[in-house]
Structure 1
């Protein structure tokens, strides 16, 4: 499949300078498509189109924007199989998982944005004064490969709903689903220049968008390292920066947690091949349950099937790329070298999988929180297990990390759960597997980023608030 063009100013256009890049199917290690990596000229062209369209788009009524988003939602829902196929090929999500969790995470954010927009007050009265919420301007949206439609639509939908114009740079490793979305945005009837897409890498297109003087906001999801660089570059023009970065979530299992909670904790780490920033990758277990928990984790890991993303059924697919596969292998080796006890998985591919970026579901026990595998975000199906003796010690271990995205608590003592949740330094806490709803904010503390995405918080992220005093207002 050849997808060398970019979507700019309402049309598919050729790159200024062709720069072919193969999109690799991680299940086969073969190219499944060819895109072109853009350059500075392409980024500039997209920003010009967005800037030109902003004046008219920003003054449209919320009803106009709502109607277009509803049309986009209907188109999106009618292309489930197409999106599932694209995500399965580009980033290795098993086809059934791609058509369910991966696809539906995108539709849920689109639907939630529509719900919020229906009732959002862009003007409100506060005493004698008035508050106006106005779109911030041109938004550069830089998204990762691990949850393509989740991360794209949690940014694109609220940005368009707010009245911003958009330049999207999806990950060059997984661009196909975003290009399909661009086709649907065009079909839905969004005006030219309101939405633009340029493929490229972070060093060229990403860096240009981040520093561009005509970009008013950057919303980025990805690594903490890249988030730091983006913040520095954006500081030159004092633009707003919203960051959703890495995580090293702790799953605190108290002595009264049911066995099912242990199983679910292991599966939560392995989901999406471990490539989720909010995955519960550190399991902290009360010492009285620790040996049992290690045995359960070993059995769960041994029972996991690993295979091609194109196979139906529930199983773990490949990692995204060869480079990422080697990174995960290096960290597994470091865990062994630093003295952690390998109880499941380990280095290399699973048996009978000689091709593809597959990793053995891996469990380390007797880990200390100072080991590399407990400090760094591995981003693969690798669980580290740490015992604790007291509630205070569990909280201290959970908080002893540069990250603060999501943490998890397993206990039947609800007062204790609430008490611990208040003390955890993270943007999200899940108690007893009761997953947060789509109408809650997504984001973290510390080096997991700033800002909040999703629901009304996501919409407000793309708005400036203006306070006005005096004057005669309609309806006053």
Structure 2
């Protein structure tokens, strides 16, 4: 071990940046702490504008060669990265669980395999990316996707590696070079990704990873004149700052932001299914942007729904995320816990009633909470909590249900429980959301467009939509005449 290496559950992690194919240390560091028990994991290199400039310069220098690399070769390397991820699933899983507190069993069985799939999917999609030529008055139109250039990707802490590679994989497949800035609360698996990518043969400078605070290195990245794309997942206030920062250079943005998504439960729904869907919203301690945190239940079944919900939620096991029996781990940070508790306390002071929960546990754990008697215009209904806190309201008509569902500034997702196919068709058409689930939740396919409406985001990524964002689309029009025969 060296001064720049820490060990997490037996796994060595380099604490320095990855720039131009080399490890680069900063003069200052920040402390990384595990949310499981508050233990210090290590000191991480804390980047500034200087490291931002180095990383963008490395990405810019590597771009021409990577953009000129054939689709087949780019795809081969991305598959090699996926192979490397699969070989290290256990390492990645335990490091990420320790760093962000999400369930180890989920990381092993779902999240880290999805990381590998992100690379494989976009590698394969690249090879079939095409648009059929078409004619205009005898002239041939040919559409192509040209690599745009260095791309800055800024990712959150709730699913660090999966959400990072959801951006990294299509950006690299498109022929762009990348500067990735992971969240400062969860930097470790991004460092491991640098090792995996290097071992897979990704050329130096194609993927660069810098660590630090948004105000110190993030702003320098998003305002950099050599950056051609910015993709961000996180909060609305940060997105507003990024948008202002990028405006001077007219850098295209893709923003996936917060949510305050509804779950609509109609009286004709399978009530057991609806309850299962509702309790599922506590996944990852409520730290899921897509979570349906506003439960809207038809009044005639609200009492029965609430009773069944409380019974099912009562058996949730909250504890150490490394334990196979645990259902919910800790929240990420003391600051986040204070925020969650503040929302709940203010709601109760305003008249809300906690059917379950409503309080902190020991350490960084917050009890799964369901609040009723909440007003539509109240803070707890309108603002994103990002913790295990749900609200329950009732409605009497379909129109009222849709009105309540749409009555926030967000529009990321919505979930609908009903036994009536016609109603499902009517209601989903009227809901303002980037994704709508009917009688299910969190079924995701990388072919589908993903993003939010209103304050939940700008743009869509996934499948061809990702390449549309990370590339400059070009249409080449060729005349049928004017050619000289060199035969």
How would you bin the TM-score normalised by the shorter chain? over 0.9
Q: Which residue of 1 aligns with 2:86?
A: 77
Deviations 1:123-147 (A, max 9, x none): 8555422222101111000000001
Q: Which residue of 2 aligns with 1:430?
A: 437
8 A Cα contact 1:287 1:389, kept in partner: yes
Q: Which residue of 1 aligns with 2:10?
A: none
Counterpart check, 1:116 vs 2:125: yes
Question: Structure 1 residues 182 and 123 mapped into 2: Cα distance closer, same or farther (>3 Å)?
Answer: farther
Deviations 1:193-220 (A, max 9, x none): 1110010111011111110001111100
Q: Which has the larger displacement, 404-413 or 365-374?
A: 365-374
Counterpart check, 1:267 vs 2:279: yes
Cα distance in 2, alignment partners of residues 101 and 138 from structure 1:
30
Cα distance in 2, alignment partners of residues 175 and 391 from structure 1:
45
User: 2:25 pairs with 14, 26, 34, which one?
Assistant: 14
Q: Which residue of 2 aligns with 1:358?
A: 365
Deviations 1:277-299 (A, max 9, x none): 00011110000011111112222
Cα distance in 2, alignment partners of residues 212 and 235 from structure 1:
11
Cα distance in 2, alignment partners of residues 65 and 59 from structure 1:
10
Report the 3-state secondary structure (helix = DSSP H, G, I; strand = E; otherwise coil) of the residue aligned with 1:58: helix
User: 1:183 pairs with 195, 200, 207, which one?
Assistant: 195
Q: Which residue of 2 aligns with 1:414?
A: 421
Q: CA deviation at 1:257?
A: 1.0
8 A Cα contact 1:158 1:459, kept in partner: yes
Count of residue pairs the alignment pairs up: 467
Q: CA deviation at 1:122?
A: 7.6
Report the 3-state secondary structure (helix = DSSP H, G, I; strand = E; otherwise coil) of the residue aligned with 2:300: helix
8 A Cα contact 1:142 1:220, kept in partner: yes
Task: Show the 5 A alignment for 1:39-54.
Answer: 39-54=48-63
Q: CA deviation at 1:121?
A: 2.2
8 A Cα contact 2:225 2:249, kept in partner: yes
Q: Which residue of 1 aligns with 2:11?
A: none
Cα distance in 1, alignment partners of residues 85 and 411 from structure 2:
33
User: 2:412 pairs with 405, 409, 416, which one?
Assistant: 405
Question: Structure 1 residues 337 and 253 mapped into 2: Cα distance closer, same or farther (>3 Å)?
Answer: same
Report the 3-state secondary structure (helix = DSSP H, G, I; strand = E; otherwise coil) of the residue aligned with 2:76: helix
User: 1:377 pairs with 378, 381, 384, which one?
Assistant: 384
Instruction: Flag structure 2 segments of 5+ consecutive residues without an equivalent.
Output: 7-13
Q: Which residue of 2 aligns with 1:331?
A: 343
8 A Cα contact 1:366 1:387, kept in partner: no
Q: CA deviation at 1:454?
A: 2.1
Q: Which has the larger displacement, 144-153 or 156-165?
A: 144-153
Q: Which residue of 2 aligns with 1:386?
A: 393
TM-score (norm 1): 0.95
Q: Which residue of 1 aligns with 2:448?
A: 440
User: 1:292 pairs with 304, 311, 314, which one?
Assistant: 304
Q: CA deviation at 1:471?
A: 6.1
Report the 3-state secondary structure (helix = DSSP H, G, I; strand = E; otherwise coil) of the residue aligned with 2:387: coil
Cα distance in 2, alignment partners of residues 332 and 46 from structure 1:
42
Counterpart check, 1:309 vs 2:309: no
Deviations 1:276-334 (A, max 9, x none): 00001111000001111111222222221110122223410000101001100101101
Cα distance in 1, alignment partners of residues 360 and 403 from structure 2:
34
Report the 3-state secondary structure (helix = DSSP H, G, I; strand = E; otherwise coil) of the residue aligned with 1:343: strand
Deviations 1:69-117 (A, max 9, x none): 1111111111110111111011001211221232233233223212311
Question: Structure 1 residues 273 and 295 mapped into 2: Cα distance closer, same or farther (>3 Å)?
Answer: same
Cα distance in 2, alignment partners of residues 151 and 279 from structure 1:
16
Question: Structure 1 residues 263 and 77 mapped into 2: Cα distance closer, same or farther (>3 Å)?
Answer: same
Report the 3-state secondary structure (helix = DSSP H, G, I; strand = E; otherwise coil) of the residue aligned with 2:295: strand
User: 2:472 pairs with 464, 472, 476, which one?
Assistant: 464
Task: Show the 5 A alignment for 1:229-240.
Answer: 229-240=241-252
Report the 3-state secondary structure (helix = DSSP H, G, I; strand = E; otherwise coil) of the residue aligned with 2:258: coil
Q: Which residue of 1 aligns with 2:356?
A: 344
Counterpart check, 1:209 vs 2:217: no
Counterpart check, 1:281 vs 2:288: no
Task: Show the 5 A alignment for 1:97-112.
Answer: 97-112=106-121
Instruction: Flag structure 1 segments of 5+ consecutive residues without an equivalent.
Output: none
Task: Show the 5 A alignment for 1:82-97.
Answer: 82-97=91-106
Q: Which has the larger displacement, 302-311 or 244-253?
A: 302-311
Q: Which has the larger displacement, 456-465 or 43-52?
A: 456-465
8 A Cα contact 2:147 2:470, kept in partner: yes
Question: Structure 1 residues 101 and 267 mapped into 2: Cα distance closer, same or farther (>3 Å)?
Answer: farther
RMSD: 1.7
Report the 3-state secondary structure (helix = DSSP H, G, I; strand = E; otherwise coil) of the residue aligned with 2:269: coil
